A and B are shown apart, each in its own frame.
Chain A
Amino acid sequence: MAKYLLLKHYRGAPAAVNDVPMDQWTPEEVSAHLKYMDDFAKRLERDGEYVGGVALSPEGSFVRYDGEGRPPVTDGPFAETKDLIAGWMVIDVDSYERAVELAGELSAAPGAGGKPIHEWLELRPFLADHADTTE
């Protein structure tokens, strides 16, 4: 089993095929989407492939050290262009192929018009903190 991070972006990823902001959907479409995500996580949990997941607020800041005795610099909460992570899910699966399969499934969550969003999800393998001794 190997762990993978599935990253969902607010901004910074290529545009989704069905790229309509959520507040422009119908309430039923919103509910269907949330249920899909929820069911997906529950199923992974049941199958023993779920590690954890977190939703993040879109209001993020970049922060930088600005010298001794000075407050850190922040770019403020409303920078115009930057990659913004909406949330992540960590899965523990048998193979890279399985991780890709699951990411594809999550990307197919229903959106506007009940059609899949086809959004881009970033898939990042975890690096182990020790050398592999079994091979």
Chain B
Amino acid sequence: MNESLLRELVPAVIGVLVRRGADFATAEDAVQEALIEAVGAWPDDPPREPKAWLVTVAWRKFLDLARADAARRRREERIDEQRPAEPVAATDDTLQLYFLCAHPSLTPASAVALTLRAVGGLTTRQIAEAYLVPEATMAQRISRAKRTVATVRFDQPGDLATVLRVLYLVFNEGYSGDVDLAAEAIRLTRQLATRTMHEEAAGLLALMLLHHARRPARTGTDGRLIPLAEQDRGRWDTRLIAEGVDVLQAALARDRLGEYQVQAAIAALHADAATAAETDWVQIVEWYDELVALTDSPIVRLNRAVAVGEADGPQAGLAALADLDEALPRYPAAAAYLHERAGNAATAARLYAAAARAATNVPERDHLTRQAARLNTQLRG
């Protein structure tokens, strides 16, 4: 039983049902039930056309579900009248489903959950585990999301930027339980990039691949965070880096720059350096200038200040930082780093301790505490 094949078929099958007149929520439930049946039946009797098999069984399940609900009787009659006899068509229902699941009427958390369930084909339990919430909570979140999009017309064009942001959120959630959300996000983004041929979908895919390539080196055996400059570059996945660079170059060649392509370009420059010292910081600053022009985000300006500190020295970095609001997330950490490089160990230690207090996750907090401890030990010694 090929689980990834099943997952890939899910969105297309839901799409077929919805196009035939099923409402999204019931279609989605019907496909999940068909999957359960497939898991039981396929090992002994593998279908010649898995997708057609799933469509047939899911449609039957859908009719059962629709019939079971007496309040829906009128709609059931309508569906029976309209019941099409056509075979599975080649229209791209999967793409429509991406847009539906990332509909702007949904909160980001709901869009993420619905995307993983309907497009990704994950079970509610798997999604709940990945987000460390009880299964009942996640089930409610998903069914609320389904109700929200129930009235959305399936053939409306969607907003690609929203879809990309949802996939980006999935990627950032990382690894937990038996599903690696980063790998799942890559799979879904790869599928989206192939279907849309949009350069920002390719940019996001490249960005994910390049970040994913560094994952084995990013944490120590004890779960400790290892900063980019100290990572063992031999542990980076060169195959993923090569693929990321290829995808990015093809996107950049089309000359329609967007923020994901730029972020991927920065990640590619890091990936390209054999040692941290060989990093092309000058070019990275140039890409950050592009990113500031595209997004005008204060977080981007903060990252740019750190890059300026590497390219032109810590004083230049601190000057770039001086224009920014000290309340920005990670401001104290960036300031601490630049102050240490500028030789102000006492200020840096104080800022690292402040950054640790403001950290939003345990590995980052522990890392920053260690940095403060290291400098304070030096200052005493």
* Interface residues, chain A, with chain B CB atoms under 8 Å away: 21-27, 29-31, 34-35, 38, 55, 57-59
- Complex-state Cα separation, A30 to B352, whole angstroms: 14
**Does B303 count as interface, using CB distance less than 8 angstroms?**
no
The answer for the CA separation of A83 and B175 in the assembled complex, in Å, is: 34
Q: How far is the CA of A24 from the CA of B374 in the complex (A)?
A: 9
Check A58–B357 contact: CB distance below 8 A.
yes
- B: residues with CB less than 8 A from A are 222-224, 349, 352-353, 356-360, 362, 365-366, 369-370, 372-374, 376-377
Q: How far is the CB of A83 from chain B (nearest CB, A)?
A: 17
Contact of B376 among A24, A34, A55 (CB under 8 A): A24
A22-B376 in contact given A35-B222, A38-B222, A57-B359 (Cβ < 8 Å): no
6 contacts between A and B (CB under 8 A): A22-B373, A27-B377, A31-B222, A34-B366, A57-B358, A57-B360
B380 to A, closest residue via Cβ: A24
Inter-chain contact B373/A23, CB cutoff 8 Å: yes
Give A35's nearest chain B residue, CB to CB.
Answer: B222
Question: How far apart are the CA atoms of A135 and B29 in the complex, in Å?
Answer: 45
A-B contacts counted at CB < 8 A amount to 44
Q: Name A112's closest neighbour in chain B (CB-CB).
A: B373
- Residue from A24, A58, A59 in contact with B373 in the complex, judged by beta carbons closer than 8 Å: A24
- Whether A23 lies near B353 (C-beta < 8 A) is yes
- Please measure, in the bound complex, the distance between the C-alpha atom of A23 and the C-alpha atom of B370, giving whole angstroms: 7
CA distance A41 to B224 in the complex (A): 17
CB-based contact B373/A27 at 8 Å: yes
Closest chain B residue to A52 by CB distance? B132
Check A30/B222 contact, CB under 8 A, given A23-B349, A24-B376, A59-B357. no
Contacts of B353 in A (CB 8 A): 21, 23
Chain B, Cβ-Cβ closest to A22: B369
Q: Are B373 and A25 in contact (CB under 8 A)?
A: yes
In whole angstroms, how far apart are the Cα atoms of A34 and B362 in the complex? 11
Q: Please, which residues of chain A bring their CB within 8 A of the CB of B359?
A: 57
Q: Give A59 to B223 CA distance when docked, in angstroms.
A: 24
Give the docked Cα–Cα distance between A31 and B360 (Å): 19
Q: List residues of chain A with CB within 8 A of the CB of B222.
A: 31, 34-35, 38
Most A CB within 10 A of own CB, among B349, B352, B369 = B369
Contacts of B360 in A (CB 8 A): 57
Distance, CA A23 to CA B369, complexed state (A): 6
Closest Cβ–Cβ distance, residue A61 to chain B (whole Å): 14
Decide if B352 touches A23 in the complex (CB within 8 Å): yes
A54 to chain B, nearest CB (A): 10
Asked whether A31 lies within 8 Å of B362 as measured between CB atoms, the reply is: no
CA distance A21 to B357 in the complex (A): 12
A116–B16 CA distance with the chains assembled, in angstroms: 64
**Cβ B358 vs Cβ A23 within 8 A:** no
Q: A25-B377, A57-B357 are in contact. List 15 more A-B contacts (CB 8 A).
A: A21-B353, A23-B353, A23-B356, A24-B373, A25-B373, A26-B377, A27-B370, A27-B373, A31-B222, A31-B224, A38-B222, A55-B365, A57-B359, A58-B357, A59-B358
